[in-house]
């Protein structure tokens, strides 16, 4: 799926949270498939983990910007 940072930065806070829920669910499904031996490409797990990390980084950036804007 490989998320693009430019696209992520255009999303709002609730949209980012929804996207995070989707990715965590996808990671769960991939791990389940891996455990049962049905996963064709195990690299999908790594890509999904990285997408989640990328998303959380953007969420932190957005939260910091909002906090800074409220402080001014």
Coil, helix or strand at residue 14: helix
Are 14 and 56 in contact, with CB atoms under 8 Å apart? no
CA–CA distance, 22 with 72 (Å, rounded to integer): 34
Please give the biggest Cα pair distance in the chain.
Answer: 54
* pLDDT band per the 50, 70, 90 thresholds, residue 72: low
* pLDDT band per the 50, 70, 90 thresholds, residue 71: confident
Walk me through the domains of the chain, giving residue ranges and CATH numbers.
13-71 (1.10.287)
24 versus 6: which is more confidently predicted? 24
């Amino acid at each position: 799926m490989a998320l693009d940072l430019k696209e992520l930065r255009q999303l709002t806070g609730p949209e980012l949270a929804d996207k995070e829920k989707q990715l965590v669910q996808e990671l769960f499904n991939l791990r389940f498939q891996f455990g049962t031996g049905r996963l064709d490409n195990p690299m999908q797990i790594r890509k999904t983990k990285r997408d989640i990390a990328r998303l959380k980084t953007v969420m932190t950036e957005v939260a910091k910007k909002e906090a800074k804007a409220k402080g001014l």
